[in-house]
Amino acid sequence: MKQDDYKIQIAESLEKEGKFLHALQIYYVLLKNKIYKKTAVVKLAEIYQKFGKIDKAVLLFEDFLFENLDIEMHKYYTHFLIKNEWYDKALETLQYISKETNPEAYFLTGLANYKLKEYEISIINFTEFVRKNKRSDLLADAYLFLSKSYRHLNQFDKALEYAKLSELIWNRNFDLYFNFAKTYYQKEMYHHAFEAVSKAIKLNSAEYGLYKWAGKILYRMEEYEKAHNYLKKYIDESNSCKDPETFALLGGTYFKKKEYKQAEMYFEMCLKFDPSNDFAKQGKIDCSKFAS
């Protein structure tokens, strides 16, 4: 084993032990070695990411890519930037990757566009990716992001069309069914929406936002007791819930059960965070009428 290979093993062991400063020192020494510099940059970036020092990681990537025309490193760097919400920088980096010879760049560009809420542009890039990558492992994700983009543009039939294409490829993704639920909800197809969110919960019961949506959908279905249970679960599972919509809906379920004091309490909690919420305002007025 080469000495520098051994150094990498030592640094990785130090990371596992939580001795990140010592690991950093070894990786910085390896930056001086042209053969190991790429590995060192990636390892250093991963450590800086753990501590939220993304700017330091960016400088390392930029320095490496200034000296090396490495397309795979450009891709890795782009993934890193998107993961850490540096979307504009990701788009800037993608300019150095040919989309014709690296069609994955269409997907990454579409993803950055989507995160920046540039939904029309994201559709263009994901559509090109799908056209050029019929056998890609990312195809199901591309269809899902197309669906989400169309949903954000209120084109719900197109959203369902692409969600169904994604489902044909991979049907174990909770986010796919969460997207189905939101789309059906917008189309006022509440039974379909609840069926979809129920599938999402089965696939990922730790995603607490699903419980809020289940309660929200059931409220529209006038299943107030069930809605109440899901909304309470969302609040109980979420640390320090400050979501006015959830408080308003929960107040509504108490009102429907004629528990006016509890209803008024939740309407007031809603108005604390959203003073202009008309549903909660009217709810308080109605509680005063019926409680007296």
DSSP for 6-39 reads HHHHHHHHHHHTT-HHHHHHHHHHHTTSTTTHHH
| Mean local confidence (pLDDT), 162-183 | 99
Predicted confidence at residue 145, as pLDDT, reads 99
Rounded to whole angstroms, what are the CA distances from 48 to 1, 23, 36, 66, 213?
A: 28, 11, 18, 20, 35
Q: What is the dihedral of CA 133, 197, 267, 289, to 10 degrees?
A: 130
Report CA torsion sign: 90, 96, 98, 102: negative
Contact between 185 and 197 under an 8 Å Cβ cutoff? The reply is: no
Q: Is residue 1's pLDDT more than 70? A: no
Mean pLDDT, rounded, for 239-260 = 96
Percent of the chain with pLDDT over 90: 96
Rounded distance between C-alpha atoms, residue 255 and residue 164, angstroms: 38
The DSSP-derived string for 81-150 is: HHHTT-HHHHHHHHTTS-TTT-THHHHHHHHHHHHTT-HHHHHHHHHHHHHH-TT-TTHHHHHHHHHHHH
Q: What share of the chain is helix, strand, coil (3-state, %, to 5)?
A: 75, 0, 25
CA distance 155 to 186: 10
pLDDT of 291 higher than 90: no
Under the banding of pLDDT at 50, 70 and 90, the label for residue 48 is very high
4 band by pLDDT with thresholds 50, 70 and 90: confident
pLDDT for the residue 246: 98
- Is there a contact between 97 and 67 (Cβ–Cβ < 8 Å)? no
CB 11 within 8 A of CB 34: no
Tell me, what's the pLDDT at 3? 85
Residue 240 pLDDT level (bands cut at 50, 70, 90): confident
**Using CA atoms, how far apart are residues 29 and 70, in angstroms rounded to an integer?**
21
3-state secondary structure of 290: helix
- The radius of gyration of the chain's CA atoms, rounded to the nearest angstrom, is 25
Per-residue pLDDT tens for 131-144?
999 999 999 999 99
The token duo for 20 is 């990140």
Cα distances from 221 to residues 146, 194, 253, 279, in angstroms, run: 28, 9, 12, 17
Rounded distance between C-alpha atoms, residue 244 and residue 156, angstroms: 26
